[in-house]
C-alpha cells in the first residue's frame, strides 16, 4: 500500500515535469514562431532604406564630363524599354508616345500629330526645350516630374541608364544640344564614385531647390518606411523644373 503511494507520487512528479517540459516547448514554439514574422518586415525596410544613400548621389551630372564618356550602345539597349511606346526613327510614326527623333532640343509637347496631355503642353509652355537636365529628371520618374503626364512609364532609376539613354538620344537627332565644356570642379566629387556614374555626384551649377517632384519619385515606394533622410537627399536632383523656369 505504502509502496503504491510512493509509486503514485513518483509517477505524478514525472507527469508534472513532463507537462512542464511540453508547456515550455510550446511556449518557446510560440515565441519562436513570432520572431521570424517580424524579421522580413524589418528586412524590407532596410532594403528600401539603402536606396537613400544611393539616391543621395543622384544629382544632375556634369554633362561635359559624362556625355563624352557615356556608353551609347548600352543606351540603345535601355531604349528598348521605350520602343514599345516610342518610335525613334527620323520621320517615324507616333505610337502610344510621340516619335522621339530629335527630342533633345525640341520644345516639350510639340511633335506634330501627337495628342499630348495638358500636363506636357503646360510643361512645354514653361520650358523652351528638352535639355539634358530636364530629360534626366523626367526619365527618372515621369509622373513624379510632370504630374498628369500620359507617359505611364515607371522611370529609369539608375543614373547611368539615364545618362546612357540621353547619350543615345543625342545620336538620334539632326541638331542635339551641344555638349557643354566639362567642368572639372563639378566633376571632381565623382572621382570616388563608380566609373559608370562618373560625374553623377556633381551638382549642376544652377541646381534649384525646387526638387519636390523628383523627391516624390523616391518618396512613393519608400512611403511605408521611416526614412526622413531620403527626401532632402533627392531634392538636389531636380533643376529640371527649377532651372528652366
Ligand atoms: C508606356 C508607354 C511609354 C513608355 C514605355 C515610354 N514612354 Fe515616353 N511618352 C509616352 C507618352 C504617352 C508620352 C506623351 C506624354 C504626355 O503627353 O503627357 C511620352 C512622352 C515622352 C517624352 C516627351 C516627348 C515630347 O515630345 O515632348 C520623352 C522625352 C519621352 N517620352 C521619353 C521616353 C524614354 C526615353 C523612354 C524609355 C526610357 C520612354 N519615354 C518610355 C509613353 C511612353
Phi, psi of 206 (to 5 degrees): -90, 25
Tell me, what's the pLDDT at 224? 46
Q: Is the CB of 120 under 6 A from ligand 1?
A: yes
Out of 102, 118, 124, 151, give the residue to mutate to test ligand 1, the one with the largest number of ligand atoms within 8 Å of its CB: 151
CB 75 within 8 A of CB 162: no
For 16-77, the DSSP string reads HHHHHHHHHHHHHHHHHHHHHHHHHHHHHHHHHHHHHHHHHT-S---HHHHHHH--HHHHHH
| Predicted local distance difference test score (pLDDT) of residue 210 | 42
111 lines ligand 1 (CB under 6 A): yes
Q: Are the beta carbons of 217 and 234 closer than 8 angstroms?
A: yes
The one-digit pLDDT tens for each residue of the chain (245 residues) are: 455 667 677 666 766 766 666 665 665 555 555 444 444 544 444 344 444 444 556 799 999 999 999 999 999 999 999 999 999 999 999 999 999 999 999 999 999 999 999 999 999 999 999 999 999 999 999 999 999 999 999 999 999 999 999 999 999 999 999 999 999 877 655 444 444 444 444 444 444 444 434 444 444 444 444 444 443 434 333 444 433 33
Name the residue of 79, 104, 153 whose CB sits within 8 Å of the most ligand 1 atoms, as the mutation to test its pocket: 153
How high is the pLDDT of residue 73?
Answer: 98
Residue linked to cell 512611403: 223
Give me the CATH topology for the region 57-244: Cytochrome Bc1 Complex; Chain D, domain 2 (1.10.760)
C-alpha torsion sign, points 47, 48, 50, 54:
positive
Cβ contacts of 237 within 8 Å, gap of 6 or more? 55, 58, 59, 60, 137, 140, 211, 214
Length of the chain: 245
Domain ranges within the chain, ordered by starting residue: 57-244
For ligand 1, say whether the CB of 84 is within 6 Å of any of its atoms. Answer: yes
Q: Which of 76, 79, 80, 86 is the best mutation target for the ligand 1 pocket, counting ligand atoms within 8 Å of the beta carbon and taking the most?
A: 86
Residue 237 is predicted with a pLDDT of 38
**Rounded CA separation 144/160 (Å):** 19
Q: What pLDDT sits at residue 47? A: 40
pLDDT of residue 185: 79
Predicted pLDDT at 71? 98
CA–CA distance, 220 with 43 (Å, rounded to integer): 18
Measured CA to CA, the distance from residue 203 to residue 175 in angstroms comes to 26
For ligand 1, say whether the CB of 150 is within 6 Å of any of its atoms. Answer: yes
Amino acid at each position: 500500500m505504502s509502496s503504491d503511494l510512493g509509486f503514485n507520487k513518483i509517477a505524478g512528479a514525472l507527469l508534472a515535469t513532463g507537462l512542464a517540459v511540453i508547456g515550455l516547448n510550446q511556449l518557446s514554439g510560440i515565441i519562436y514562431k513570432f520572431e521570424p514574422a517580424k524579421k522580413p518586415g524589418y528586412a524590407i525596410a532596410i532594403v528600401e532604406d539603402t536606396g537613400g544613400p544611393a539616391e543621395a548621389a543622384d544629382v544632375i551630372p556634369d554633362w561635359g564630363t559624362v556625355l563624352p564618356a557615356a556608353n551609347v550602345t548600352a543606351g540603345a539597349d535601355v531604349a528598348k524599354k521605350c520602343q514599345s511606346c516610342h518610335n525613334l526613327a527620323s520621320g517615324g510614326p507616333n505610337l502610344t508616345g510621340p516619335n522621339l527623333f530629335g527630342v533633345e532640343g525640341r520644345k516639350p509637347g510639340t511633335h506634330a500629330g501627337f495628342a499630348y496631355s495638358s500636363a506636357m503642353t503646360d510643361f512645354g509652355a514653361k520650358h523652351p526645350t528638352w535639355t539634358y537636365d530636364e530629360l534626366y529628371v523626367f526619365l527618372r520618374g515621369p509622373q513624379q516630374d510632370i504630374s498628369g503626364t500620359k507617359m505611364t512609364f515607371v522611370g529609369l532609376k539608375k543614373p547611368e541608364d539615364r545618362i546612357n539613354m540621353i547619350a543615345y538620344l543625342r545620336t538620334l537627332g539632326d541638331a542635339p544640344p551641344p555638349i557643354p565644356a566639362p567642368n572639372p570642379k563639378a566633376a571632381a566629387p565623382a572621382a570616388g564614385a563608380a566609373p559608370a556614374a562618373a560625374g553623377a555626384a556633381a551638382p549642376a551649377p544652377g541646381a534649384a531647390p525646387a526638387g519636390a517632384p523628383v523627391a516624390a519619385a523616391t518618396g512613393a515606394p519608400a512611403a511605408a518606411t521611416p526614412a526622413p533622410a531620403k527626401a532632402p537627399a533627392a531634392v538636389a536632383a531636380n533643376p529640371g523644373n527649377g532651372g528652366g523656369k
